[in-house]
Every structure is written in C-alpha cells, then in structure tokens.
Chains A and B, each alone.
Chain A
Amino acid sequence: MPIKLLPPLVLLARLLVGAYPRWIGSSPTATQRIYFANHSSHMDTLVLWAALPGSLRANTRPVAARDYWGKGGLRQRLAEEELNVVMIDRAREDRDADPLDPLREALGHGFSLILFPEGTRSAQPLPGPFKSGLYFLAQEFAQVELIPVYLDNLHRSLPKGALLPIPIYSTVRFGAPLPRVAEETKDAFLSRARAAVIALASD
C-alpha cells in the first residue's frame, strides 16, 4: 500500500495554522452540502478539509482548479488520490464543455462539495465578487444545503507569493444554511451568498 500523505499534512496544517472548527449556524452532519468559502491562501482547501470531522471527509470533495492542482507530481497525486478533488477547468480549453459538469456529476453521486466561488485567491480578508457556478448548482440541486464558511486569518499566514507559511491561530467558521429565495436573480443570489460569508467574518 502506498504511503498516505494526507494524515501528516492535516496534522501539519493543524500545527501551523490551527484550523479550529466553529459551527455557528449549522452542525457537522452527513447532509449533502456545498460548503462555499472565501479564498485567500493555498492552504484553504487543506484547512477546511482538516476542520471537518473525519466521518464527513470521505463524502466531501474539494473543487480545485486543474491548472494549479493538475500539474502532475505530488500535488496531483495528493489532489486525486487523497483529497479526492473534483478538477475544474479554469482555462476552458474546450469551448463547448461546461466547466461545471464534473461538479454536477459529483453532486449527482451524493458527494458534498467544497467550493471557493471567488475563483481565485484574493489578498484581502474579505472575499471578492462570486462567480456564477454556485448559482447554477444551487438551482439545479435544490435539496443540497448551501453552507457559508469563513476562513479566518489564513491570508496572513501565507501572503501571495510566499512559500513558507507563518504559524498562526485560525478558525474555520461554518454558518447557517443559505435559504433559497424563489425567482431570485443570479446577481442577487450571488451577493446574498457573499454577504453570508462576510457576516461570519465579524462573528
């Protein structure tokens, strides 16, 4: 059996940045969910993953950009074999393919997803505008709970361009499920989702 990299990495993430979970408006249950969070550091995926209880991890798949995680080597092995990542095509090389298709497939199989709707890392503590993927998934999978997550402090640990994370105390705050509002426009939904993440920042 090949040596697993993930458990030591999760331990390392906890040692360096804490990753203490705080369930504010929801509780860690096996309900199918889309966790959507602010994105400010390369460690976000690992830290959110480490904050979930072990029993939920097997059923939860992070969504990650193919151009970063799919480059081969250790990173790709970690993404595919251990984090069970759903790869998304940011570059959209194939114009006809819908980049959301792999996500639909994973949700269809009953997996929960970890999604960073900003699409890229921002240097700020508060998230930038959200991309529309979350809206379409929320429309098509009406039974899936949408859980806003705020990752605190991580932008200070690993500023853009830095390699060595600075140890810090961070919390992962899980909020209440985002309610669906009938006949809401795409922009209204996305700004409401973003506001739900921002609201957790001041908690």
Chain B
Amino acid sequence: MSAHETFFAVLAALVLLFAGATAYGTWLEARTSDAAKLAWVQHLNLRIRSSWAIVALFTLAFALGGEALTVVFALASFFALREFVALTPTRASDYWALVVAFYVAIPLQYVLVAAGWFGLYAVVIPVYLFLLLPVLMALHQDTERYLDRVAKVQWGLMISVYCVSHAPAIATLEIAGHEGRGALLLLYFLLVLQLSELLAVVFSATFGRTALRFNPSKSVEGVLAGGIAATAVGTALWWMTPFAWWQSLLMAAAIVIAGFLGGLVLASVKRSLGARDLWLEGGVQLARGVLGRLDALAFAAPVFYHLTQFFFVTV
C-alpha cells in the first residue's frame, strides 16, 4: 500500500472505532442514574472525546502535510508551559527568563524540528538554554530561592517543550525503505499511547480493585490490562511501521511503559507544586489540564524517538 492508501485505511478504521465508542458512551451516560457510576462514565466520555483529537490531527497532516502538525504541537507546548508557569511561584525578577522560554525557546525548537535539524534541536534547550536561563536570572541579583526558581523554569521547559517536541520529530525520522511515511509512524505512536490510556480507564472501571495512589481513576489491574491490550494492538499494526511484528511488540511496550511513568512523574510534580484543583476552575473541559493530557506523551515521545533512531536510522 502507498502511504496515502494506508492513511485512508487507518483513518477510516479510527473514525469507525471512535464513532462506535462515542455512541456507546453517550448511550451509557443516558441510561446511568447512579451518581458514582455516572461520574465514571462522564470521565470515560471525556477520554473518548479527546481521542477524536488524533483523527483531527491526522486529517490535518494528510490535508496540509506534516509541518501542520509541528504547529499543533508547538501550541500544545505553549499551553503546557503556560500551565506549568502558572503553578510555579515565579517572581518579577524571573521576567526575562520567562520571556525567553515562551517567545524564543518554543518557536526556535519547533522551527528546528520542522527543518529536521536534529543536531541542533537535540541540544538547544538542554545545553544552551540550560546555561542562558540561569544567567538571565542571576543578572537581577535576586538570590532568594535562586536555584529553586531556575530549576523550575528549566524543568517546565524540558517537559513541556523539549520532550513534547519529540512527537512531531518522529515524523521527520528518515528510515531506509520507509521514505515519505514518517507521519504514519507518528500516528502509530499516538494511537498506541492513546489506547493504553483509554483502555486503562475502561478496564480499571470494569475489574479494577486496587486504585493507583497517584491517579484514583485508574487501578493496578486496569493499567496492566490496558497496557497489554495496547501493546497487542501496536503489534497488530506492525504493517504501518518499518518494524517486524516482534519489533513492533517491543516498541509498543516501550511506549506504554514510558507513558505510564510519565503520568506517575507528572502527578508527583503537580502535587509538589501544590496544584490543588486549579484546572477545575474553568469547568469540565479543563478537568485534566494540558499538562495532564501531555504527561504520557512527554515521556514516551523521546523514548520512542531515540529507540527508533538508534535501531532503524542508518547514518
């Protein structure tokens, strides 16, 4: 199959799948009266609705080309960093560091990703901005909690910009025998990740007993079952990737595990920043916040990117 045909096939399957899930979720919500159960169904429907983002993303990539996705992820980084900074108690003397983080780092990183200039986007934030930001903040002679403040801005930048930018970078990997199919690899990645999240929630509710300490809407059993199911789906999708079926199995497992650990780490980060229920303020649609939506992706994208680059990109 050509890349375009594969695109159409996958998109059609996704639309059918999500339409079925949406219809089922709506039907379930209408006939549930028990309050505790209803809250769960609404949570599930929220997840299903956010799955449509994948369909939207790929219709966009298909219609406008892969560069359009870079813009989408740049916006996602922007909103995630905005949320991170809002949670962090910054001071007036952090002003220039934050201006650089928002108005220089984000555009620069994504322009480099879109241009495929790997040598530079891999180091710009972890090396150059790592050195520049503390300089900008030291110029103010405000040493109150200095290291604390520098570290928080850098952490926000690494997670919400550097890590997230590896997702669109997956589409730019040049793999021999797989030319012009980069966007399909990104679709594969996002699909496995989203399914592991969605199925973990579904299974947690059907036969979960031991609730996860950092995320009460998931259980240990549900996460395991969801992870295994998503890995199985990933394995079955080997034909849209440059991988053999067993390689696809290992890759999907890596995505699922890294994604789970991302959720674990960011839950701890938010708790240590005293996040309270900041995202409940704006209403239901903000219930998880941008960071909450990107936590798994921020960890899984660099892992998947580097595994693929190491084993499949011949330099």
The reply on A59 being an interface residue by CB < 8 A is no
The reply on A20 being an interface residue by CB < 8 A is yes
Residues A166 and B282 in contact in the complex (CB < 8 Å), given A156-B90, A159-B92, A159-B95: no
CB distance from A24 to the nearest CB of B (A): 10
Of B78, B86, B90, B95, the most chain A CB neighbours within 10 A belong to: B86
CA distance A171 to B85 in the complex (A): 14
Q: Bin the interface of chain B by size.
A: 10 to 19
CB distance from B79 to the nearest CB of A (A): 9
* Stretch of B28-36, B97-105, B300-308 at the chain-chain interface: B97-105
Q: Are B95 and A169 in contact (CB-based, < 8 A)?
A: no
Residues A166 and B281 in contact in the complex (CB < 8 Å), given A20-B286, A159-B92, A159-B95: no
Query: Which residues of chain B have C-beta atoms less than 8 A from A159's C-beta?
Result: 92, 95
Query: Which residues of chain A have C-beta atoms less than 8 A from B282's C-beta?
Result: 18, 20, 22, 171
CA distance A156 to B286 in the complex (A): 22
Query: Which residues of chain A have C-beta atoms less than 8 A from B95's C-beta?
Result: 159, 162, 166
CA distance A166 to B103 in the complex (A): 9
Query: Which residues of chain A have C-beta atoms less than 8 A from B86's C-beta?
Result: 18, 153, 168-170
Tell me what chain A mostly uses at the interface: helix, strand, loop, or mixed.
loop
The reply on B270 being an interface residue by CB < 8 A is no
Q: Are A18 and B92 in contact (CB-based, < 8 A)?
A: no
Query: Which residues of chain A have C-beta atoms less than 8 A from B82's C-beta?
Result: 18, 167-169
CA distance A171 to B278 in the complex (A): 9
Query: Which residues of chain A have C-beta atoms less than 8 A from B98's C-beta?
Result: 166
Query: Which residues of chain B have C-beta atoms less than 8 A from A18's C-beta?
Result: 82, 86, 282
CA distance A18 to B78 in the complex (A): 12
CA distance A20 to B278 in the complex (A): 11
The reply on A182 being an interface residue by CB < 8 A is no
The reply on B83 being an interface residue by CB < 8 A is yes
CA distance A18 to B286 in the complex (A): 12
Query: Which residues of chain B have C-beta atoms less than 8 A from A142's C-beta?
Result: none
CA distance A153 to B87 in the complex (A): 10
Query: Which residues of chain B have C-beta atoms less than 8 A from A170's C-beta?
Result: 86
| Interface residues contributed by chain A, number (CB under 8 Å) | 15
Q: Are B85 and A167 in contact (CB-based, < 8 A)?
A: yes
CA distance A164 to B83 in the complex (A): 18
CA distance A170 to B283 in the complex (A): 14
Q: Are A164 and B99 in contact (CB-based, < 8 A)?
A: yes
Q: Are B78 and A167 in contact (CB-based, < 8 A)?
A: yes
What does the 1/0 interface line of A3-29 toward B look like (CB < 8 Å)?
000000000000000101010000000
Q: Are B103 and A164 in contact (CB-based, < 8 A)?
A: yes
What does the 1/0 interface line of B63-99 toward A look like (CB < 8 Å)?
0000000000000001001110110001010010011
Q: Are B83 and A169 in contact (CB-based, < 8 A)?
A: yes
Query: Which residues of chain B have C-beta atoms less than 8 A from A153's C-beta?
Result: 86
Q: Are A171 and B281 in contact (CB-based, < 8 A)?
A: yes
Please, which residue of chain A has its CB at the minimum distance from the CB of B82?
A167
What does the 1/0 interface line of A22-56 toward B look like (CB < 8 Å)?
10000000000000000000000000000000000
CB distance from B141 to the nearest CB of A (A): 16
Please, which residue of chain B has its CB at the minimum distance from the CB of A162?
B95
Residues 170-197 of B contacting A (Cβ, < 8 Å) = none
CB distance from B248 to the nearest CB of A (A): 39
Query: Which residues of chain A have C-beta atoms less than 8 A from B92's C-beta?
Result: 123, 156, 159
The 3 A-B pairs at the shortest CB distance, nearest first, are namely A169-B86, A20-B282, A159-B92
25 A-B residue pairs with Cβ-Cβ distance under 8 Å, sorted by A, are A18-B82, A18-B86, A20-B281, A20-B282, A20-B286, A22-B281, A22-B282, A123-B92, A159-B92, A159-B95, A162-B95, A164-B99, A164-B103, A166-B98, A166-B102, A167-B78, A167-B82, A167-B102, A168-B82, A168-B85, A168-B86, A169-B82, A169-B278, A170-B86, A171-B281
**Sample of 7 further A-B pairs with CB below 8 A, known A18-B82, A159-B95:** A18-B86, A20-B283, A166-B99, A167-B85, A167-B102, A169-B82, A169-B278
Name B's A-contacting residues (CB within 8 A): 78, 81-83, 85-86, 90, 92, 95, 98-99, 102-103, 278, 281-283, 286
